[in-house]
Amino acid sequence: MHFFAYMQAPLQITFRSPISPSRAIHERVVEHVAKLESFFDRIVGCHVTLGSPHHHHDHGNHYTVHIEIAVPGHTLNIARDPEPRAVREDLYAAIDDAFTNAERVLKEYIRRSRRAMTDSTEVRW
């Protein structure tokens, strides 16, 4: 497990065997988290778990990426598991897919939060 706290939101990256930590993987994850922070500057933490649950001799590794984004009062969970029709044998593509989903989930959270704030501050006559 690796912990990096030089970003505004503390970032924790867990590498599950057989994936080994590398600077390139770390930088890819950091870039994606920075992009998420550009949408919402109140992210208080992010935990990314990278794994490969199965090794298929004829299909290669199928990577999993799980992202937990901590925002005030909530944790947003995003998983990118291999699916038969969308298998990623490239770890970087799996990371990109997971963060594309994370961006969508975070934007939806922001939209709902703003709507809830607007609804609660509405003056009723």
pLDDT score at 87: 53
**What is the enclosing helix (H) or strand (E) of 45?**
strand 45-56
40-64 tens-digit pLDDT:
999 999 999 999 866 555 556 788 8
Between residues 62 and 32, which one has the greater pLDDT? Answer: 32
| CA-to-CA separations, 28 to 73, 95, 118, in angstroms, rounded | 27, 8, 36
Domain total in the chain: 1
CA–centroid distance for 117 within its chain: 25
Q: For the sheet containing 11-15, what is the strand order?
A: 2-4, 11-15, 45-56, 60-71, 74-80
pTM of the entire structure?
Answer: 0.79
Q: What is the CATH number for 83?
A: 3.30.160.100
Residue 71, SS3?
strand
pLDDT for residue 74: 92
At 121, the pLDDT band (50, 70, 90 cuts) reads: low
Per-residue pLDDT at 84 exceeds 80: no
Confidence of residue 83 (pLDDT cuts 50, 70, 90): low
Q: What is the residue range of 93's domain?
A: 2-121
pLDDT average, residue stretch 21-27: 96
